């Protein structure tokens, strides 16, 4: 825990024992398509983010912080990338003095749309981040400075995640 104020609104499907960015995305995938089961939503999300869990594990009890598996670092960084993007959106909501901003909700909806439309791993590159943090008119919901900062941060996390993916054995 960093001690930083958490401005993210995190949720989880009924029956989950954890609440984190992954559980929030599973909940939003189900909410966006009521034909999706929890298992289907978890599979879609895991495939899109490259989350690899151990035999018999699922996202309903998965805590990326306590994960000590060989996939721990990659899983943590995938979760951290999502949290970072949503935190930037939540901060932009907080900065909007009108009190009517829904930037975090729009970013979450956009992210779910990208994840559910993917046929495999989603790359959180500059273009995808721009899509997540834009409205229907393709107008950025965050400042150019915030978009540059989140892009740099997510790129750095992706590099660490890729290095962890290529390492042999558990990496902490």
Q: What is the mean pLDDT of residues 64-77?
A: 91
pLDDT at 2: 53
How far apart CA 140 and CA 162 sit, in angstroms, is: 28
pLDDT-wise least confident of 56-65, 117-126, 161-170: 161-170
- DSSP bridge pairs for 134: 140
Look at the alpha carbons of 106, 159, 171, 3 in this order and tell me if their dihedral is positive or negative: negative
Q: What is the pLDDT confidence band of residue 161, given thresholds at 50, 70 and 90? A: confident
Backbone dihedral angles phi then psi of residue 76, each to the nearest 5 degrees? -60, -45
For residue 147, give both structure tokens.
Answer: 């978009």
Q: What is the mean pLDDT of residues 93-102?
A: 72
Say whether pLDDT at 43 is over 90. Answer: yes
Q: Which one has a higher pLDDT value, 105 or 101?
A: 105
For residue 44, give both structure tokens.
Answer: 């879609």
| Total length of the chain | 172
From the centroid of its chain, how far is CA 83?
5
């Amino acid at each position: 825990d960093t001690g930083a104020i958490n401005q993210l609104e995190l949720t989880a499907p009924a029956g989950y024992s954890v609440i984190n960015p992954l559980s929030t995305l599973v909940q939003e995938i189900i909410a966006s398509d009521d034909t999706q089961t929890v298992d289907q939503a978890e599979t879609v999300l895991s495939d899109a983010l490259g989350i690899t869990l151990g035999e018999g594990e699922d996202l309903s009890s998965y805590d990326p912080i306590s994960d000590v598996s060989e996939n721990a670092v990659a899983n943590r960084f995938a979760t951290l990338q999502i949290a970072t993007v949503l935190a930037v959106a939540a901060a932009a909501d907080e900065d909007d003095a009108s009190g009517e901003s829904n930037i975090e909700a729009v970013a979450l909806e956009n992210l779910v749309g990208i994840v559910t439309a993917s046929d495999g791993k989603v790359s959180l590159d500059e273009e995808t981040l721009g899509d997540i943090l834009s409205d229907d008119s393709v107008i950025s919901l965050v400042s150019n400075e915030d978009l540059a900062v989140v892009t740099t941060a997510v790129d750095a996390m992706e590099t660490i995640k890729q290095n962890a993916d290529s390492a042999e054995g558990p990496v902490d």
